[in-house]
Chain A
Amino acid sequence: MAEGRSIHWTDDDELLSKFVLHQLPESEEDTLSSHLITCGKCRHAINEETTIVAGARLAGRAALKEQLRLRLSESEQRVAASPMRKPAGYQVLWTQIASVAAVVTILIAVGVYNNWFISNSWNKSTPQEQVAQKQEPPTPESGNMESKESPPEKLLGKDMDQPIGSAEQDHFDNRRVKRTEIQKQKTSEDKRIVHEKSATSITVEPAANAGAVADEGKAEKELQMIDEADVLESQTFWVEGHVIQDALEKSQGMLSVTPRDQVSSVRKGETNAKKDDHQVSKSGNDIAMPTISLNQEPSSSLPAAFQYRQDRQGTIQTLIENNDSAIQMTLYLDSPIADSELRSAKIHVINTDSLVLNLPSQRIGLRLPPALQSQINTKAKQVK
């Protein structure tokens, strides 16, 4: 057979070894295999290489088996030397059983302890409170059970998914009216609970007392003060902002942003001294806002619990922190925006529980939780 030397690829020792060890890409292997059909020399080289591989594997396995036998005999000698030692399998089984038993015992103990603890603390509360707790579990609107990091839906209620924009404003107002009605229904019940609690707190913790006086005529004012005191304890709120697709028809009550991302407060009757000449809201509401400081953070730094919420299209998780001097609003954005954009942000207050953050590139609607609304109102009063 007259074949050129170049086509006897088995002359290449490395290529030959790789072919036999199946370390070549499949396409290349197929190409090289096709030559073997017609070339006896290369087939012979392949057979020899295959035999070497088989022999090497046999030698390697024999060496490994020998090592294994040595270690087994050492292990048996150790077992023979310590007659009390049980076989490994037996030990493993008992160890597993013992660990499972220990875990079960701990779980039972914890369950018994918790059960006892809960039943004891339940018995410590007054009979009236027990009845109240059984009838009406505390709600976020009552402001009594506010926690620092409550999930947004608990704070905001069911309708948080509604986008906020001009087209939705009527719908928004209707919802607000409905919620007000529901709140009124609950207020009487809540006030009874708060009053009972306040009565308890007056006797047990006089320091927490906001100057309450057991006078029927001043009861409502007293309750309001206690509500505010409870509400002010909460300092951090998570709010789900929604990117608004439609622009607001009219900008009303626009607040400008001072340098260093500060939003200046607007008092009733004041106009902004900025160039754009933004006007105070003409909605008829005396909506005064304290100083708001605007920041941004990457969405990757969100707590795990809020990461999945951010994944919903058009939502921006926003952390609102109530500091002594101002309210700090931090937007968690998927992609950062320029500092100049933040500086030029404007807040449009729609009503007491909602506002729109206007950035040059987007508008973000934010529904404020009732507890935060109260705080803002309180701060606004203090500002006045």
Chain B
Amino acid sequence: MVRLYETNERQVTSFVTRNNGSQDDAEDMLQEALVILWERVRAGRYEHTSKISTFVFAMVKNMWLRRIARSKREVASDMQNDPTPSNEKSVLDDMIETEEAAAVSIALNSLGDPCRQLLLLYYWEELSMDDIAVQMGFANADTVKSKKYQCKKALEKLLRGSE
């Protein structure tokens, strides 16, 4: 991933900075794109139809332009109260979802291992119960199922406690 980053850095930085972005924005976009690529490859959803650098740049471009469009809508809604089209999420919904996800992420990190690792393997890397059992050294898939339920309850308790 480091090599991919270094290979695409110049092109991505050039694009983002030419489109009202900063160096930090460019770095953030590129890292986000590489992470998404990693997720797709891991989940078997990546189809190699073009060069990887082409794919990464296209992803960065889409994400950055969407971010710009969203920020424009935020400004517009602040100023003019334009109604959002019914098929799109409102800016407010987006913000709420983002905040809730961030809260879960913080709670997850504070859970500590093995719950944090188990929930990440299951929900983020989408490994099967059997694979998680092997990776984490559990006896079998049923043990993982039971442990996952307990960890989820602990996470919900943390979230309710923070509300």
Contacts and interface: CB of A to CB of B under 8 A. Distances in A.
Interface stretch (A58-66, A265-273, A292-300, A371-379): A58-66
A56 B124 contact: yes
Interface in A19-57: 21, 23, 48, 51-57
A52 B149 CA distance: 13
A58 B31 contact: no
Contacts of A260: none
A54 B104 contact: yes
B31 A68 contact: yes
Given A58-B105, A64-B38, A52 B123 contact: yes
A217 interface: no
A64 B100 CA distance: 20
B107 interface: yes
A52 B152 contact: yes
Given A68-B2, A89-B10, A55 B152 contact: no
B2 A55 contact: no
A68 to B, nearest CB: 6
A53 B123 contact: yes
A375 to B, nearest CB: 55
Contacts of A75: 2, 6
B113 to A, nearest CB: 12
Nearest to B149: A13
Contacts of B149: 13
Contacts of B60: none
Nearest to A87: B6
B104 A55 contact: yes
B145 interface: yes
B119 interface: yes
B31 A65 contact: yes
Nearest to B28: A65
A68 B152 contact: no
A246 to B, nearest CB: 53
B34 interface: yes
Contacts of B34: 68
A304 interface: no
B40 to A, nearest CB: 13
Contacts of A87: 6
Interface of A: 13-14, 17, 21, 23, 48, 51-65, 68-69, 71-72, 75, 87-89, 92
**By DSSP majority rule, is chain B's interface helix, strand, loop, or mixed?**
helix
Contacts of B107: 55
B122 interface: yes
Contact of B7 (A21, A60, A69, A89): A89
Contacts of A59: 104-105, 108-109, 116, 120, 124
A55 B145 contact: no
Contact of A21 (B108, B126, B145, B155): B126
Interface string B19-31: 0000000000001
A161 B88 CA distance: 68
B79 interface: no
B19 to A, nearest CB: 22
A68 B116 CA distance: 20
Interface in B110-151: 116, 119-120, 122-126, 145, 148-149
A84 to B, nearest CB: 18
B35 A61 contact: yes
A48 B148 CA distance: 16
A13 B151 CA distance: 12
A183 B134 CA distance: 76
Contacts of B10: 89
Given A52-B155, A55-B100, A55-B107, A60 B3 contact: no
Given A59-B116, A68-B34, 10 more contacts: A13-B148, A13-B149, A51-B104, A52-B104, A55-B102, A57-B124, A60-B123, A60-B124, A65-B32, A68-B31
B6 to A, nearest CB: 5
B126 A65 contact: no
A53 B122 CA distance: 9
Contacts of A52: 104, 119, 123, 152, 155
Nearest to B116: A59
A62 B105 contact: yes
B152 A88 contact: no
